Amino acid sequence: MMPIVLRSFVPLCIALNVIVFLLWRTLPREVMFEHFTISWLALSQNRFWTLITSAFSHIELWHLLINMFVLNSFGPVLEMIVGKTSFWRFYIFAAVIGSLAHAVVSKFLMSQASLPAVGASGAIAGVILLFALKFPKEKILLFGIVPVPALIGSMLFIGIDVWGLIAQTKGGGLGIGHGAHLGGSLAGLLYYLMYIK
């Protein structure tokens, strides 16, 4: 038998996200919430695997499509530069840091230890910042419309997340995982400083 060689992590990652999305439609909701959402409560109950599984979990189709589109836009370039193994390790690292950041922020800044979150956004925020640090002048489309240098665009997204998180700590804001996004961005910065620069 010939071993199967994975040429790219990105298609596998997208496939895993799609599979988990379909599981939300086939398995009982309580099972999915227990194993595929991250919260401080989940960690306090020793469900540490949710640090990773939640980052492959999407309930809404639009959430899945946006995250996978962005991953497919930036991921292959970074994977080609840093290598397949290094990229998937970084992606998992960013996912875990993003998930952990959501849990910490919801517990200590928002006083909502049981607030659950799902989505690849934290990991993808790390991917975007890593891309921007590596290619700061490369043009990206802000909100898919306005062309800006990658570093400026990523800084604007981070600024929006900081603003959104502050609003959430005051009881307002939108139902967006700003803490996870900022955690993922931190992972991107750390990876860049330790391994790329």
Which of the residues are catalytic?
121, 181
User: Residue 195 carries which DSSP code?
Assistant: I
Interaxial angle between packed helices 178-191 and 150-169, expressed in degrees from 0 to 180 and rounded to the nearest 10: 140
Cα dist from 75 to 5, 11, 90, 167, 197, whole Å: 19, 10, 11, 30, 18
- Residue 141 forms beta bridges with which residues? 147
Are 36 and 53 spatial neighbours (Cβ–Cβ below 8 Å)? yes
117 pairs with which residues across the strands? 38
Distance CA 163, CA 158 (A): 9
Return the structure tokens found at 182.
Answer: 């900022």
